[in-house]
Amino acid sequence: MDAAENRCSLAFKQIAKVVNSELPLKKMMGLIAASAARSLQASGCAIMLLNPQREYLDIIGAFGLSDIYLRKGALNARKSYPEILDGKTVAVEDIIADKRTQFPEQADKENLKSLLGAPILQKEEVIGEIRIYTHEKKHFKPHEKDFIATVANIIAVTLEKNELSQYLNTHHETNVTQQKKLTSFSHLPLKPVRPTSFSHPSEEEFARLLDFYQVEWLYEPRSFPLSWEDKRITEMFTPDFYLPEINLYIELTTTKQSLITEKNRKLRQLKELYPDVNVKLLNKADYLKLFVKYDFIPLGENKMNGVGKYLFNKTQIDRRIKSLAKQISKDYQGKDLILIGVLKGVICFISDLMQNMSIPLECDFMAISTPQGKSDSPIKITKDLDIDIKGKHVLMVEDIIDTGMTLNYVLNYLATRKPASLKVCTLLDKRVRRLIDVHLDYIGFEIPDEFVVGYGLDVRGKYRNLPFIAILE
């Protein structure tokens, strides 16, 4: 066994010991990062998880990297070596020169030369990454890539173990019998661990509000140097939250005047040194004002009555619709396209979809009556198309698809009109309710088996006007 193999073998023994310990998760991840870095004779290692929106990476364990580098800013997984997000191991010999490096200046200051990254997969889905850094340019060998991929798999198992432990502790008193039957992690609704321990209860409360309104957030992702002495940083400021959807840093404060005065001083200094940074100081009374200002919730609490849980806010819906519109415009370039919607639930979606498309198109609507509690009641068309679709490309636009029975009926009917092509775009896909396997070409969001309202969707004619989508209480 050569020296490299010996280091890897020793690292696996150390990692296995850590995984089988009762240490807190953050401590475990730090020790795994240290063992991985030392095995490859690297200068540093970071273990990161995707945030719930799968856009940004949160650090849950690190070794050998300075606090300034770790808090350099929000790391976008789709920009920073996106191949890792696709499930590939990535080796970078020159970090500074590589166009995929999101913060090259900070990497240069940290004297980072090469990088080796691997995806952390849970049930074949990427939930995070591990990255190894070196101070010398290095060509990573196949066995080193295999090593880091194996460490990533061990991290995935460790996270599953942590989820299992949390699940059992939560359900210990009410679900003892079921727990005894658990034989594998696949029985559990596993989700990536939120890598956050808050330093103050107000921060945890604010995070819960952000989650309720489905606002994407990162906790303390960046530290801003405020003063130096002989090139040494003597004071920094780290805002509590960053909201990437609106590019806003948030610092929370209490009513204690001395703390408010000190934080205001730091914020003034930060704005002078970093004029392009958008940062706000908030107290509890400012929370809902912020959400209303940026359209995360509607103005007027009366519209909130009956809403149990937010699924998608206005910003998320707008962003997804723009993405769908861009893809549809590309696919139908140079073709005669007709959008067809079934009234009334689709009105918001089809309107916004059209406004974001970049190709000429036509639009028409149908209205149908569906069975109400009688399985033998037929589906009837109460308003037919005004446009002749023969020989044209038709895109059926739906607000939500659950059983697929109504959609299947409408598609069969439209097919008799002999269009050149017939495809389906839906904003929401409630796949768990599917009875007829209808092919969907464009999907906005997949949702659980819950009754949802808002953005055109109603219950007895109400809630269509909500700008978000939520579960009915």
Distance CA 244, CA 460 (A): 36
Q: Look at residue 131 and give its three-state secondary structure.
A: strand
| Dist CA 242 CA 161 (whole Å) | 29
Q: Are the C-beta atoms of residues 277 and 247 closer than 8 Å to each other?
A: no
In sign, the C-alpha dihedral spanning 130, 134, 139, 142 is negative
Query: Mind listing the pLDDT tens digit for each residue in 10-57?
Result: 888 889 888 888 888 888 899 999 999 999 999 999 999 988 778 888
pLDDT above 60: residue 240: yes
Question: What pLDDT digit, counting tens, does each position of 82-119 carry?
Answer: 999 999 999 999 999 999 999 999 999 899 999 999 99
Tokens of 217: 């957030």
Residue 297 is predicted with a pLDDT of: 63
Distance between CA atoms of residues 340 and 349, nearest Å? 12
pLDDT tops 50 at residue 310 = yes
Q: Return d(Cα 318, Cα 284) in angstroms, integer.
A: 28
The DSSP-derived string for 342-402 is ETTTTHHHHHHHHHT--S-EEEEEEEEE--SS-TTPPPEEEE--SS--TTSEEEEEEEEES
- Confirm if 345 and 430 have CB atoms less than 8 A apart: no
**Given a cut of 60, is residue 443 above it in pLDDT?**
yes
Answer whether residue 306 shows pLDDT above 70.
Answer: no
Of 313 and 292, the one with more pLDDT: 313
Output phi, psi for 186, to 5 deg. -65, -15
Helix and strand totals (H; E) in the chain? 13, 21
DSSP state of 216: -
| Rounded (10°) CA dihedral 375, 377, 383, 385 | 60
Q: Which of 300, 302, 297 is nearest to 313 (CA)?
A: 297
- What pLDDT was estimated at residue 296? 67
pTM exceeds 0.75, yes or no: no
> Predicted confidence band at 372 (pLDDT cuts at 50, 70, 90)?
low
DSSP state letter for 240? S
Q: Fill in the amino acid letter for 436.
A: I
The answer to whether 34 and 45 have CB atoms below 8 angstroms apart is yes
Encode pLDDT of 148-174 as tens digits.
999 999 999 888 877 655 555 544 443
Average pLDDT estimate for 276-296: 78
Residue 263: both structure tokens together? 């934080």
What confidence tier does 183 reach under pLDDT thresholds 50, 70, 90?
A: very low
CB atoms within 10 A of CB 137: 12
Cis peptide before 266 (omega within 30 of 0): no
What single string gives the DSSP state of each residue in 258-314?
HHHHHHHHHHHHHHHH-TT--EEEE-GGGHHHHHHHTTSS-SSGGGGTTEEEEEE-H
Which domains, and CATH codes, for the chain?
A: 3-187 (3.30.450.40), 201-296 (3.40.960), 309-472 (3.40.50.2020)
Choice among 211, 402, 441, 458 that is catalytic: 402
Amino acid at 182: L
pLDDT digits (tens, 9 = 90+) for 390-440: 999 999 999 999 888 889 999 999 999 999 999 999 999 998 888 888 899
Is 402 labeled as catalytic in the residue annotation? yes
75: left (phi over 0), alpha (psi -120 to 50) or beta: beta
Contact 42, 133 (CB under 8 A): yes
Residue 178, pLDDT above cutoff 50: no
pLDDT grade, residue 255 (50/70/90)? Answer: low
